[in-house]
Structure 1
Amino acid sequence: MVPNMISLQIVCYIFSILSLRSWSRAELFTAISEVEPLLETHKRIIDDLDDYIQKEENRIIALKKHLSVYKQEHEKAMEDIPNYLGNPINAFTLIKRLTVDLDFIEESIKIGTEYIKNITMNHSDVKYPTLEDLNGAAHALTRLQETYHLDVKELAEGMLNGVTYSTPMSAGDCYELGRALYNEKDYKNSLAWMMVAINKFKEENKPYIFDEVDILEYISFAHYLLGDIKSAMAWTKQLLQLNPNHKRALGNIPHYQKAIREQEAKEKKQQRGDMGDDDQKHRSSGTGEISEYLKERQSYELLCRGEMDVPSEIAKRLHCKYLFDTHPFLKIAPIKMEYMYFQPDIVVFHQVMSDDEIKFIQESAKPRFKRAVVHDPRTGALTPAPYRISKSAWLRDDESPIVARVSRRVGHMTGLSLDTAEELQVVNYGIGGHYEPHFDFARRDENAFKKFHGNRIATILFYMSDVAQGGATVFTKLGLSLFPIKGAAAFWLNLHPSGEGDLATRHAACPVLRGSKWVSNKWLHQGGQELLKPCDLEYQAEAIIRQIPRPVPKTSR
């Protein structure tokens, strides 16, 4: 740009400013004294232009940094897509880059925003995640953190169980993660991520759409919502040191002071033993149902981490053998069979699905994938649930000889009829994908499986991928963890001989910590099994559970 053009732009800029002002006098050129004030205006224009140019340069620098991160992460992803996306941190930051970061770019770089929208955001052949995806990824990271006892600081540095697998998260990543959890009212985990965010924010010194005050506000109010009012007060005062005129913080101070006084008065009252009946009732409350849930949750997490063993009286009876007597074909090609538990019998059949079969089934399922659903116990209708995070599709035997061959193999392995079996369900678990403890059979008061001629008598679960970390199938009553082995299949009966559901088969799919978990299920029903699995004449009430040996924590050895 030539100097004259710059001068012209300055003149136009001055004119635009002056045109917005209301002047009481005109003809400034007629007296030097009237022109002198323009030097101050000129200085202001220079300062404004300096500030504008500096901001534009900062915006370009910020854009270049984002572009550099995008390029680096994309190159890493394309080197090994399944392994890259199988890392929950990578998956979260990818979604975050395509939601919050993209908004930041548009907000920060005004020039070209319309071009970005028109060129990149209106294409019908590309997908963009939603804020719902971002919230889901945030919850997935929290689920992994809690289940596998991961340190938030290590997660933020791209580490899983002490091993670095991904690029460290930025202050913006941590802030958005904490914000998403806060909006979902998960204040405890939100606070943990905000604490990491503020430390990274001070270290990075990068431009963001938020500042230190924003982080401090989340930290202080999260403390308050968690009942730690004194800490909320301390963080609010720290906020006010940076911004003494912050309206919400100023309004919170007297509220916190009042709450602290009430809390201290209550503590003194408790120390004197002068508690009212309501306080005593509240203190002693706690139902057996909650207690049972917490016990199962503890067992579930221990099993997911592989920190429990089956009891010795069970373990010493476990063995492997070749299966050849459930179908004539197996006399030619016996199947490797490994007992994992007795009563209920849980076995793993090894090398029962080939790589080619797995690839075909995966590719056939992908176009049909939908959010996995569960049976509503009241209505029997299928509905999504937060305790089952995966996508699934159903494949019929008559649509492919490969699918039909896999189904026939189920009959060979189990010795059961497939006359009333369900279609092959193919499942891929997402970021931190899991399925909390459940039964495969329908309870007596549940309205399900009417069209399948009876309850689910048996489950066979094919593992179609290895999983680097996590993703085990665990039986919470038995203390048994089955970690995925590609090409293998787990099998168990869901019902007692009487037809009552076996409560000992309660199981769960643990969150996938690293990797991509593919499975397929074949559920067999009672119809057609009358001669193969005759019903026991002795009635067994569902409430009666056999005496199951207590699982053994590995740490006790």
Structure 2
Amino acid sequence: MECKLKTLLRCILTLLGTFALVHGNSQQQANHALSVASMPLLLDLETKLIDNLEDYANELEQKLQIFRSYIPVMRTENEKARLDAMSYLSNPLNGLSLIRRLHQDWFKWQGYMDQLVGTVQMRNFDGWRKDLPKKADLSDACAAIVRIQITYDLKVEDIIKGKLDGRQYNSSMSSADIFAIGHYLAKGKAEAEAVPWLQEVTQDVRVMKLLAECHIKQKHYTKALALLESGLKFEAYNADLQRLWNKTKNLIEIYQNNTLLDVKKLEDPMIKAYTLACRGLTEGSTRLHCFYNFNTTQFLRLAPLRVEEVGLHPYVVLYHDVLTRMESEELMELALSSLKVSGVYRVQGLAFKRMRTVKARWVGKETNDMTRRVTRRIRDMTGLDLTTSEFFQIINYGIGGHYNMHKDYFDFTSINNIKKSKIDKLGNRIATVLFYLFDVEQGGATVFPKSGYTIYPRAGTALFWYNLHTDGIGDPSTLHAACPVIVGSKWVMTEWIRELGQLFVKPCLEPSSEQ
């Protein structure tokens, strides 16, 4: 309130000072104090000053009302999220909207606040500025939504309405959210992917221009021309739109009004197999059965483990109830303190084509009693020696989190001598154990594209497979991937077991006849 009074006082003094400079000479000549009859003119002037001041006060009040009207809306959404933060942020639409709001909306609020009032709030904002999401964070959030859309073949209009892979959620996307994705794709030279998004928000001239540019790059000149003509109806003197319209008109004449058809690239069969597996549209081995493992170690004779065969080529099994809920929670809590970005790579500059989008932490097997207990359990499951195996890697996936197709074993022909010397000390990764620590509501399956296996994350279960043939050569059929998470928070823990130490546990045999 004190700040507002000071602001109003400064305004009054400024206006009076200006009035004195303009009318000083006439006031001296009139001698208003000497004649009551001359003073009504001063009343007229005061009326103008008061009206002008009232206009200023109205603007301040209007600004205050705008703040008052938006704060409950923003607070309602924030409090809704804080009731169950993990559940709220597990929905990728909420995650995108949160990052976009913090990256875009708050900078707009800053500009609105940066006027004679709100100096205290501006200082507060400057103190929090460093904690706000950056441009890269918004790009990652946009990329996650696009990755989900492409992998699961979802319709843009369904995603916007909060319908994700057949399920309707109490979430939706604002026009600003939609445009953020379209803009990200268009500027990332993914015009074909940008068009369906931008078409949903064509009321804005800048959107029309961006969408027209996408159509031009795809040689859809007639569509581009129609958009530009619509934009010129709103802004007839927009020079950029006019130049782009002229360019498009010339291109149509060159190609004789024929829209060139896109030539689709042949789709990689493995990518197709991967997406089909993520959607649950493939069939794995039919020769499967469940059994109790009594034999790997003597301890299992007393406490056998439930095993489900996933497939035979490669041989993959799923262990049930090998982690308790308390153990899973303790592992997740252990990792939360220092999760770091792990294995992020860009392909063609597009974040939705990154190799991996996760954060992870390496945890030693001797960290505490619980990790030692889990280590013994892996020994019981696999029968392998873990003395020289790698640390546990605990991973949490983000919005649309995924891990593209890869093999866990090392390809010695594609790594440098330094890395090869380090690997030689422990040998190759003979086997993998993948624990699921938390249920995932939608998506996030582990898939083996060459075999059609699809395994959905269920808390307490663990996958086990060998990465190498019996002669130590890598098994290419173990190519696998983590599908994008649609809704949920996916937590896993991986244990890669090395060859060193397995000499007497699993001796090498003759080369496999399957190779």
- TM-score normalised by length of structure 1: 0.79
Matched-pair contact (CA < 8 Å) for 2:448–2:478 = yes
Shift in Å at residue 508 of structure 1?
0.4
Q: 2:433 aligns to what SS in structure 1?
A: strand
* Aligned residue among 119, 124, 129 for 1:119: 124
1:259 aligns with 2:251: yes
Which of 423, 439, 445 is matched with 1:472 structurally? Answer: 445
**Structure 1 portions without partners, runs of 5+:** 200-211, 271-281, 377-384, 547-557
Q: 2:367 aligns with which of 389, 399, 408?
A: 399
Corresponding residue for residue 35 of structure 2: none
1:234-267 CA distance string (max 9 Å, x none)? 1111111111111211121221111112222887
Counterpart pick for 1:301 among 249, 258, 275: 275
Give the alignment partner of residue 15 of structure 2, picking from 13, 16, 27: 13
Do the aligned residues in 1 keep the contact of 2:343 with 2:355 (CA within 8 Å)?
no
Question: 1:63·1:105 contact (CA, 8 Å) conserved in 2?
Answer: no
Equivalent residue runs for 1:10-89 within 5 Å: 12-13=14-15, 16=18, 27=26, 59-89=63-93
Q: Say which SS state the counterpart of residue 460 (structure 1) adopts.
A: strand
Aligned partner of 1:410 among 378, 390, 399: 378
**1:57 CA drift (Å):** 5.5
Deviation of residue 501 (structure 1)? Answer: 1.1
Distance in 2 (CA, whole Å) between partners of 1:512 and 1:151 is 17
Secondary structure, aligned partner of 2:414: coil
Q: Distance in 1 between matches of 2:187 and 2:485?
A: 24
The alignment status of 1:138 with 2:109, answered yes or no, reads no
Which residue of 1 is the match for residue 486 of structure 2? 513
Report deviation, 1:343. Answer: 2.4
Residue pairs, 1:366-381, within 5 angstroms: 366-373=336-343
Q: 2:98 aligns with which of 81, 94, 99?
A: 94
State how far apart, in whole Å, the 1-side matches of 2:398 and 2:187 are. 22
1:214 alignment partner in structure 2: 206
1:421 aligns with 2:389: yes
Out of 242, 260, 267, the position equivalent to 1:250 is 242
How far the C-alpha of 1:121 sits from its partner, in A, is 4.2
Deviations 1:452-472 (A, max 9, x none): 421111010000000000000
| 8 Å Cα contact 1:461/1:519 also seen in 2 | yes
Q: Give the letter aligned to residue 471 of structure 1.
A: G
Shift of 1:528: 1.4
1:26 deviates by 7.0
Inter-partner Cα distance in structure 1 for 2:241 and 2:121? 37
Number of aligned residue pairs: give it: 489
Q: Give the drift of 1:44.
A: 12
Contact 2:345–2:356 (CA<8 Å) still a contact in 1? no
Does residue 319 (structure 1) correspond to residue 302 (structure 2)? The answer is no
Q: CA RMSD in A?
A: 3.6
Q: Percent identity?
A: 32
Q: 2:224 aligns to what?
A: 232
Which of 455, 468, 484 is the aligned partner of 1:495?
468
Query: For the residues of structure 2 that align with 1:48 and 1:185, how far apart are their CA atoms?
Result: 52
Pair 1:168-2:160 in alignment: no
| Equivalent AA in structure 2 for residue 415 of structure 1 | G
Aligned to 1:381: none
Check whether the contact 2:220–2:259 (CA below 8 A) recurs between aligned residues.
no
SS at match of 2:337: helix
| Contact residue 171 and residue 198 of structure 1 kept, 8 A | no
Q: What's the offset of the Cα at 1:411? A: 1.2
CA distance in 2, matches of 1:75, 1:9: 38
Cα offset, 1:227, TM superposition: 2.3
- Residue 122 of structure 1 aligns with an amino acid whose one-letter code is G
Q: 1:44 to 1:61 in 2, by over 3 A?
A: same
Mapped partners of 1:523, 1:244: distance in 2: 64
Following the alignment from structure 2 to structure 1, what is the Cα–Cα distance between the partners of residues 354 and 118?
Answer: 36
Query: TM-score by structure 2 length?
Result: 0.85
Alignment partner for residue 354 of structure 1, among 324, 327, 332? 324
**Of the candidates 455, 458, 471, which is equivalent to residue 482 of structure 1?**
455
Deviation at 1:158, TM superposition (A): 2.5
Aligned to 1:273: none
**2:426 is the counterpart of 1:456:** no
Structure 2 unaligned runs (5+)?
Answer: 2-6, 31-40, 347-352
Q: 1:135 and 1:114, CA in 2 relative to 1: closer, same or farther beyond 3 A?
A: farther
Change (3 A) 1:353 1:13: same
Alpha-carbon distance between aligned partners in 2 of 1:127 and 1:6, rounded to the nearest angstrom:
34
| C-alpha distance in structure 1 between counterparts of 2:180 and 2:274, whole Å | 29
C-alpha distance 94-302 of structure 1, shift in aligned 2 (>3 A): same
Query: Which of 334, 339, 345 is 2:309 aligned to?
Result: 339
* Higher mean displacement: 165-174 or 409-418: 165-174
Q: CA deviation at 1:402?
A: 1.1
Change (3 A) 1:7 1:434: closer
In structure 1, the residue corresponding to 2:132 is in which secondary structure? Answer: coil
Contact 1:106 1:113 survives alignment (8 Å)? no
1:284-337 Cα offsets, whole Å, 9 max, x none, are xx9xxx74x622222111111112222xxx31x200000010111111110000
Q: CA deviation at 1:116?
A: 2.8
Q: CA separation in 2, counterparts of 1:59 and 1:307?
A: 55
In the aligned structure 1, how far is the partner of 2:54 from the partner of 2:468? Answer: 78
In 1, distance between residues paired with 2:153 and 2:54? 52
Aligned equivalents of 2:101 and 2:69: distance in 1? Answer: 12
Q: Is the 8 A contact 1:321 1:338 kept in 2?
A: yes
Residues 139 and 11 (structure 1 numbering): CA distance in 2 closer, same or farther, change over 3 Å? same
Distance in 2 between the 1:44 and 1:391 partners?
61
| 1:13 Cα deviation from its structure 2 partner | 3.5
State the Cα distance separating 1:133 from its structure 2 match: 0.7
Q: Give 1:512 shift.
A: 0.4
Q: Which amino acid aligns with 2:465?
A: W
CA contact (8 A) 2:339 2:359 kept: yes
- Asked if the contact 2:314–2:451 (Cα under 8 Å) also holds between the matched residues in 1, the reply is no
The match for 2:109 is 105
SS across alignment from 2:256: helix
Task: Go from structure 1 to structure 2 and tell me whether the alpha carbon gap of 1:149 and 1:413 turns closer, same or farther (over 3 Å shift).
Answer: same
Residue of structure 1 equivalent to 2:36? none
8 Å contact 2:399–2:485 — kept in the other structure? yes
CA offsets per residue over residues 365-392 of structure 1, 9 Å max, x none?
112211112799xxxxxxxx92200000
Secondary structure, counterpart of 1:522 in structure 2 = strand
- Secondary structure of 1:116 counterpart: helix
Specify whether residues 233 and 530 from structure 1 end up closer, same or farther in structure 2 by C-alpha distance, changes over 3 A only.
same
In structure 2, relative to structure 1, the CA distance for the partners of 1:324 and 1:245 (3 Å cut) is: same
